[in-house]
């Protein structure tokens, strides 16, 4: 098996990751906005997944020095390139699930 394919499948195959990326395709979001769109996911799981996606340079975290502090997450160019993959999975799911 190709190690690059395996690594990509491992990332997208983790629970919640595909949904997070799908939500993020809509543009920059705050933690609360992501959580509202995926209410079944715990705060801890969302935090863990966001940290992982940030470490993989799929998501960028921006801290705005306001009062109170505002933090936004957005897909990097690397993350945005997942759009056709996510849309293909959506299309397949609508057809076969």
- Give me the domains of the chain, ranges plus CATH numbers: 3-96 (1.10.10.10)
The predicted model gives 93-97 an average pLDDT of: 94
| Confidence at residue 41, expressed as pLDDT on a 0 to 100 scale | 96
- Average pLDDT of the chain? 95
The predicted model gives 22-45 an average pLDDT of: 96
Distance CA(14)–CA(4), nearest Å, equals: 16
CB 46 within 8 A of CB 16: yes
The predicted model gives 21-48 an average pLDDT of: 96
For helices 43-55 and 17-24, the axis angle rounded to 10 degrees is 70
pTM of the model: 0.91
CB 38 within 8 A of CB 32: no
| Confidence at residue 2, expressed as pLDDT on a 0 to 100 scale | 87
């Amino acid at each position: 098996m190709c190690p690059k394919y395996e690594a990509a499948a491992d990332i997208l195959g983790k629970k919640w990751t595909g949904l997070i990326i799908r939500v993020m395709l809509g543009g920059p979001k705050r933690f609360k906005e992501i959580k509202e769109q995926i209410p079944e996911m715990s705060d801890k799981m969302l935090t863990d997944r966001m940290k992982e996606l940030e470490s993989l340079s799929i998501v960028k975290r921006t801290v705005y020095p306001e009062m109170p502090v505002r933090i936004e997450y957005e897909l990097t160019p690397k993350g945005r390139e997942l759009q056709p993959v996510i849309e293909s999975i959506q299309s397949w799911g609508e057809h076969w699930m």
